[in-house]
A and B are shown apart, each in its own frame.
Chain A
């Protein structure tokens, strides 16, 4: 796992209080919700709060949420894309 994913995993573990997990336990390609990491809808809300407060990226609707929370890698890419300065 590369450094950016490890850092994001730390943020997620700390923010969601997943005290039993380490970054190595999180498959960066596995779904965060449902059968993957097993997070539920309240965790989705909490993760949206964390992402907004920590990275300034709003996840306000289900479509964006399903894309951004598809996996740890997808979340990192979503945050990076949202924070990328526009070309203009």
Chain B
């Protein structure tokens, strides 16, 4: 759990979100498809940080390509990110009539894991549209879900996002107070609920471990896996991937668990092994869907 302040989170107040949502109501999906490439081009010019981080990512992913080819990939990357943001705005603008469709691969696995009563920790990543995944969970019938995420400090934005999380919105656990978050996560898991955590970004003050990712060591948060080792809950990797224009698929992997009763040293080794397993899975998803990993930060630099 982090005690540090995360400065890289999504910016934009309630007015911006409402305006974007209003535009989305007007242009709908065809407009998104038409506007994303030119807007991404503008973003490429006006946002040097996003451009350079995206190019850095593609240098790791496709080292055999030249610099201008990485720039082209960065443009496609930003276009894909723009379409995902637009889908989110569509969800905010008209959640009842939203035309985005969700498929689920592994729904039975998740329902069976929830029925075990051990508590389920869904580990996910900044892939596809993870914020919409919270809504999808409600449709899977996966029981009560809790999202571990940093909420906006703007109460209007907070209210807007919560109001558009569906009929049975997931509970939010803010990780900035690590002590409170730990106890809330434990309470949820011990009640047999589902807790979702992102495990592909470290915040200042958070404990992490460097593991090989796309050819070079990168920091990954230890917290989710320590929680699994401490509570004995089931760990299920999951990803919400964009498939087509109107369609997403929630992919839930088979669960695993981490042995709880052993010495600190051997538990550390087990946590390491499970983290490597997670990172390998993440890398395979990133390689299969390179434009859907939206982690625009210097990922390989320790926090």
Binding site for B on A (CB under 8 A): 17-19, 33, 40-42, 44-46, 48-49, 52, 58-62, 64-66
Contact = CB atoms under 8 A, between A and B. Distances in A.
Contacts of B262: 17
Interface in B208-263: 223, 226-227, 230-231, 262-263
A74 to B, nearest CB: 15
Q: At the interface, is chain B mostly helix, strand, loop or mixed?
A: helix
B264 A19 contact: yes
Contacts, number: 63
A45 B263 contact: no
Contacts of A61: 180, 183-184, 187
A65 B190 CA distance: 16
Nearest to B185: A45
A45 B227 contact: yes
B267 A41 contact: no
Interface of B: 1, 177-187, 190, 207, 223, 226-227, 230-231, 262-264, 267
A9 to B, nearest CB: 17
Q: At the interface, is chain A mostly helix, strand, loop or mixed?
A: helix
A66 B177 CA distance: 12
15 contacts: A17-B263, A40-B207, A42-B226, A44-B182, A45-B230, A48-B183, A48-B186, A49-B190, A59-B183, A60-B183, A60-B186, A61-B184, A62-B179, A62-B183, A65-B183
A45 B223 CA distance: 11
B267 A17 contact: yes
Interface centre among A17, A45, A62 (most CB of B within 10 A): A45
B186 A45 contact: yes
Contacts of A17: 262-264, 267
B185 A65 contact: no
A41 B181 contact: yes
B190 A45 contact: no
